[in-house]
Structure 1
Amino acid sequence: MGRVGPLILCCALAVGLVAAANPAAYAAPGRFSPGAPGAGDPYFPDMGNGGYDVGHYDIRLAFNPSTKAITATTTITARATQDLSRFDLDFQGPLTISRLSIDGRGAAYTRGGAQELVITPPDGLRKGRTFTVSVSYAGVPRKIDDPALGVSGWVATTDGAVALNQPIGAATYYPVNDTPNDKATYTQTVTVPRGLTVLANGEPGPVTTRGGQTTYRWHMNRPMASELSMIAIGDYDVTRGVTADGLQNITAIGRSIDTKPGQGKVLNQTTAQIIHWESTAYGRYPFDSTGGILADVGVHYALETQSRPVYDHKTSDVDGDLLAHELGHQWFGDSLTPTRWADIWLNEGFATYSEWLYQEKFNGTPVQQSFAEAYAGEEDWSGKVADPGRDHIFDDLVYTRGALTLQALRTTIGDDAFLRLLTLWPTTYRYGNVSTQTFIQFVERLTHRDLDGFFHTWLYQPGKPKL
């Protein structure tokens, strides 16, 4: 979870300095209690926090490409879900805080462990109260390189940086309640030297240039999990279009990438085509714009960042299959987000199944053929699809066996029920959090059948299921 940050007991305001020197100066009444330092996910016990619910993040950030440093202020609007004496945010790495306030008043804080920013407000926060936390900080963000899960967080590039936050990277560049269970809306305002481009989630606002610096504004007005937030800074060729359903479609390709002439237009048009097709299968697209970014970031994966996936150009093929997968995630994983990381097959199984549907629709390969080939392949059947373990959430077990489970379900309940499921499941729980148990109950209600045995075999029992 990154390196232990330095213990910081300073605040810019005098009241903050007093509190840091004497935390008891702001002791809350006895009935107030601290929020939990974790959100309770067994795979990532230190991620997320308890005691409050975030409504909005306002991230204002300036980037210096010569030093790779950022200077930023993040303001969080949240609501207390208990009587809070203190609470935590996730914030890690070498970034130094210069000021921290709650509703404009200086507050005491400490930093400890791998990622905990522990904040003690001047007065206890009553349950139901809405409050704002503003944190100003600066430094060079440090990416996370987890031995099992790979690189995430703020990744420096030759011409800027790209932030890819699944599963544990958001806290590398902004203070956050880093749990999929606390979705929020976002405003991201990023200032860079003139000539660089900034892309992020959602819809663009006005772009202004002054004194050699250009400021970009992006707004995500639909609930978003922190692991799906994104910023891309660099030299990009941006293509803008509109899908058949009238959605703003913004795609970009890094100019350092050697692409064929016209590839920007191809990426934009293929994205629009797939979004329109997937909307006919899964129901109305859940966000207000779409797109994608082909970046020279060197992480060797693509990521379903909300509304605008990022494709590392070092992935094997940025083709229709990959776009169908990442864009399918906009319904399954982004709009519908698992309650626990153990349930990530609900993301990756449906996204992989989107590839099979794409192959059937555009290349004439029946889904059942894709199923048969995957079933007969060199598949590792040793794990549990719905509980793969912390270090295996990105394994083929979750992706391919998740898709195999869906096709096996289709042959069990029939085409009519399954195709209704593809639309009703993401529509019913739009913008919410779901679990494997929620899915099982939903399917059983839809079909009026007891399917516990089927799901136990395909999701919870190691070994190759018999057909």
Structure 2
Amino acid sequence: MTTPSTCVTPSTPAARRPAARRLLLVCALPLVLALTASCTSSGHEEKAATAGAAGVGDPLFAGLGNGGYHVSHYGLTLDYDPDGNRLKGKAVITARSTQRLSAFNLDLKGLTVRGATVDGRAARTAREGTELTVTPETAVGKDRQFTTTVEYDGVPKTVMGDDGAKEGWIETSDGAVGLGEPTGSMTWFPGNHHPSDKAAYDITVTVPKDLTAVSNGELKRKETKGDRTTFSWHNGEPMASYLATVAIGDFDVATSKSGDIPLYVATDPEEAETEADDSIDVPGTIDEVLDWERGLFGPYPFSSAGAIVDHLPGLDYALETQTKPYFEAAPDEALVVHEMAHQWFGNSVTPRTWRDMWLNESFATYAEWMWEEKTGGRSTDQIFADFYDNSDDESEGIWAFPPADPPSGARVSDSPVYGRGAMVLHKLRKAVGDKPFFEAVRAWTHDHRHGNADTAQFIRHFEEHTGKDLGRVFDTWLRGKGKPPSADA
């Protein structure tokens, strides 16, 4: 039944929660009829539709993510022109509602929204900061699957993260790359950009035919028409949006296998020359590292692996983008070890909030320690001692705050999260013994495979799986403020 034309709705599109409330009809009789119609056959009245929250309340990044729904799949169709750095995109977002939704938000920074639909019907949109509010023609019922399509274009932004690092959409000498940790993914596609809402992805990218577009997962199609080539990538396992990437450029591509896992390594020719000079075989190193890490951490959690070795001077970091870590230059072995360890810790077992990031970085850093010992360098005991007395080059600042309690988003990548986090793991290993420690680690990656977990769960998991009271270790090394009085504490 069509709402009578005498009803009045606001002429300005809704924006975030206050504006969403203005969507309520202001004529009394249709409101009464609507409330009556909302009664179920059992006589119980359904809750009125309300707008989903703008933000999930992350303790470090309160504005990230959105409430009222969970995404199961992103279908991104992108067309990129390096001349002018222009991006045209269509995002098809499949989600399930957790409440009756009169409106909901997506995170999007910059770019121009050209139109949106919900389940094929035109929807209104409004922008406020990084919040894109979508108001469907009719409310979305609770626990309903729905599909939102957003068409957009423009020049995507490079942003400076709270930690001072570049992220978002970054131009390179021959193309561009999308890097998302912790907030940059919203610069090139709209979505629920918080690590607690993971989804599968299909990413299709069309670029000039002399360039290659690399993304997460497996390449399903490559097709050239005229002077443009389309690459279609499929990532079937759940992925947090900060781990999504698209790298566009002139790449040499090498394909191989690590066991039964297909490897796809894309290398900028300038960095391929560096690899030759330094005798670094990235595909071979990945194969060796994955074989070793599977023995420590359990089965590799994804359907494919690989790397993107780009040429991006000045970026000064690598990123554990899912299935294909991104290296801004030719990496050394230790960096490959670190980023591949993230495929288990961070990518498969993803932090519930950004405060839990130490669960990612401690394991990746500790993997480096164990690799150094394996390859004839310092023992893990010696590295721990060097960190404790601050003689290791990477130990500066590790006592600034407890690893699981960064004081702000600007500090989420500081050294306590990495080095002191690895020290926590070493103390746990010493407290329970090697066999129980690695059994508990493999149980952790198994129990939370493709899910989210937090610090409290980790503590409980280790105590339950080892049968030991580990409160002293966690109180001293994880929660304690400042440097413990002794390395044996």
User: In structure 1, how many angstroms separate the alpha carbons of the residues matched to 2:243 and 2:303?
Assistant: 16
Query: Are the counterparts in 2 of residues 353 and 403 from structure 1 also a CA contact under 8 Å?
Result: yes
User: In structure 2, how many angstroms separate the alpha carbons of the residues matched to 1:226 and 1:26?
Assistant: 33
Report the equivalent of 1:388. Answer: 406
Residue aligned with 1:205, SS: strand
Report the equivalent of 1:247. Answer: 261
Matched, 1:413 2:432: yes
Q: 2:422 aligns with which of 403, 407, 430?
A: 403
Q: 1:37 aligns with which of 40, 54, 69?
A: 54
Report the equivalent of 2:466. Answer: 447
Q: 1:407 to 1:157 in 2, by over 3 A?
A: same
Report the equivalent of 1:207. Answer: 222
Matched, 1:318 2:337: no
Matched, 1:101 2:117: yes
Query: Are the counterparts in 2 of residues 57 and 185 from structure 1 also a CA contact under 8 Å?
Result: yes
Q: 1:246 to 1:212 in 2, by over 3 A?
A: same
Per-residue displacement from partner, 1:389-424 (whole Å, max 9, x unpaired)?
A: 221111111100000110011111111211212211
Matched, 1:290 2:305: yes
User: In structure 2, how many angstroms separate the alpha carbons of the residues matched to 1:197 and 1:307?
Assistant: 17
Amino acid paired to 1:455: F
Deviation of 1:427 (Å): 1.1
Q: 1:332 to 1:366 in 2, by over 3 A?
A: same
Deviation of 1:98 (Å): 1.1
Amino acid paired to 1:370: I
Deviation of 1:146 (Å): 2.8
Q: 1:374 aligns with which of 383, 387, 395?
A: 387
Deviation of 1:428 (Å): 1.1
- 5+ unaligned residues in a row in structure 2: which ranges? 1-8, 15-21, 26-30, 36-47
Query: Are the counterparts in 2 of residues 19 and 107 from structure 1 also a CA contact under 8 Å?
Result: no
User: In structure 2, how many angstroms separate the alpha carbons of the residues matched to 1:128 and 1:35?
Assistant: 13
Amino acid paired to 1:330: Q
Q: 1:311 to 1:104 in 2, by over 3 A?
A: same
Deviation of 1:74 (Å): 0.6
Larger Rg: 2
Larger mean CA deviation between 186-195 and 246-255 belongs to 246-255
Amino acid paired to 1:121: P
Query: Are the counterparts in 2 of residues 165 and 228 from structure 1 also a CA contact under 8 Å?
Result: yes
Residue aligned with 1:207, SS: strand
Larger mean CA deviation between 153-162 and 360-369 belongs to 360-369
User: In structure 1, how many angstroms separate the alpha carbons of the residues matched to 2:275 and 2:328?
Assistant: 16
Amino acid paired to 1:49: N
Larger mean CA deviation between 360-369 and 453-462 belongs to 360-369
Per-residue displacement from partner, 1:228-250 (whole Å, max 9, x unpaired)?
A: 0011000011111111x211001
Q: 1:38 to 1:260 in 2, by over 3 A?
A: closer
- 5+ unaligned residues in a row in structure 1: which ranges? 1-17
User: In structure 2, how many angstroms separate the alpha carbons of the residues matched to 1:22 and 1:308?
Assistant: 40
Report the equivalent of 2:142. Answer: 127
Residue aligned with 2:247, SS: strand
Per-residue displacement from partner, 1:207-263 (whole Å, max 9, x unpaired)?
A: 0000111000001000000010011000011111111x2110011111243424388
How many residue pairs get aligned? The number is 444
Amino acid paired to 2:342: H
Aligned-pair identity in percent equals 41
User: In structure 1, how many angstroms separate the alpha carbons of the residues matched to 2:23 and 2:50?
Assistant: 16
User: In structure 1, how many angstroms separate the alpha carbons of the residues matched to 2:477 and 2:331?
Assistant: 30
Per-residue displacement from partner, 1:371-400 (whole Å, max 9, x unpaired)?
A: 122222154313111101221111111100
Report the equivalent of 1:344. Answer: 357
Q: 1:275 aligns with which of 290, 295, 298?
A: 290
Amino acid paired to 2:379: P
Per-residue displacement from partner, 1:266-324 (whole Å, max 9, x unpaired)?
A: 111111110111011110000000011111234110000011000111xxx71111100
Report the equivalent of 2:3. Answer: none
Residue aligned with 1:92, SS: coil
Amino acid paired to 1:440: I
Larger mean CA deviation between 247-256 and 334-343 belongs to 247-256
User: In structure 1, how many angstroms separate the alpha carbons of the residues matched to 2:210 and 2:13?
Assistant: 48
Residue aligned with 1:136, SS: strand
Matched, 1:357 2:370: yes
Per-residue displacement from partner, 1:11-38 (whole Å, max 9, x unpaired)?
A: xxxxxxx986576678696711111100
Query: Are the counterparts in 1 of residues 79 and 89 from structure 2 also a CA contact under 8 Å?
Result: yes
Matched, 1:86 2:103: yes
TM-score norm. by structure 2 comes to 0.87
User: In structure 1, how many angstroms separate the alpha carbons of the residues matched to 2:223 and 2:460?
Assistant: 50
Deviation of 1:109 (Å): 1.1
Report the equivalent of 1:68. Answer: 85
Per-residue displacement from partner, 1:71-96 (whole Å, max 9, x unpaired)?
A: 11011000001111110000011x11
Amino acid paired to 1:251: V
Report the equivalent of 2:445. Answer: 426
Q: 1:385 to 1:261 in 2, by over 3 A?
A: closer
User: In structure 2, how many angstroms separate the alpha carbons of the residues matched to 1:306 and 1:57?
Assistant: 15
Amino acid paired to 1:274: V
User: In structure 2, how many angstroms separate the alpha carbons of the residues matched to 1:19 and 1:272?
Assistant: 59
Deviation of 1:363 (Å): 2.6
